[in-house]
Structure 1
């Protein structure tokens, strides 16, 4: 068999296999997953809530920030973050998430004025909580 005939035969076989494979892919759409089934299987997005026990405190007076952690594994440490200028800085105040998804962190602040705080766990952060220090 000459070379041209072999190439033509291989080409015809390849085209028929591709056409048959794509036809089989579209032949039974009822067996494909629906988008609703795929969305239902996706894990819930992680989220954090935060609430301070006091909105105004004296310098270095202890207060608590507590809240709920959804989609975050029990035992994961949450950290208090404070806005300093344009950056968020992690403070040395941490607490683990308990088995019910709750946490409570003791905090003391010395920076007088309105402090913007949030809770962080990895890339998940809570809404900002404001506490005024006198």
Structure 2
């Protein structure tokens, strides 16, 4: 090979290596740069909605062990969440074996039988959320 041919090949090889190096450096620089954070309101979380439960008995007075219904609506609870009936016995709230799932629209309905005669203070609970107290008298 002549000197000029070798010189031309050397220049071509250096040019190709230089182009590849520049391309790789650009790719590495792009990979090292963090992506810009989204600034839309979609990325921001909405404030949490406080959960609430309402409750209404179907009757105000029943005979002992007579079936009645408690219905109501919820907000801030997911469909399928369990609501449970509690009865005040002395100073404590006692959980009774009456529960129902929350429907897709937030409503629930559960059947109840009470045996303690007199005025019964009741409420519906789900987790740490409780309904206002309501009364049913058992005669």
Aligned with residue 80 of structure 2, among 71, 75, 79: 75
- Misfit runs of 4+, over 6 Å: none
Q: What does the per-residue CA deviation read over 1:47-99, in whole Å, with 9 as the maximum and x for residues that have no partner?
A: 00000000000000000111001000000110000000000000000000000
Q: How many residues align?
A: 98
Query: Which residue of structure 1 lines up, in the alignment, with residue 126 of structure 2?
Result: 121
CA drift at 1:43 = 1.6
TM-score where L is the length of structure 1: 0.70
SS in 2 for 1:74: coil
Aligned with residue 110 of structure 2, among 105, 109, 122: 105
Superposed CA RMSD:
1.8
Consecutive unaligned residues in structure 1, runs of 5 or more: 1-37
State the distance in 2 between where 1:41 and 1:66 align.
29
State the distance in 1 between where 2:78 and 2:89 align.
29
Consecutive unaligned residues in structure 2, runs of 5 or more: 1-43
Aligned with residue 87 of structure 1, among 92, 99, 103: 92
Structure 1 or 2, whichever has the larger Rg, is: 2
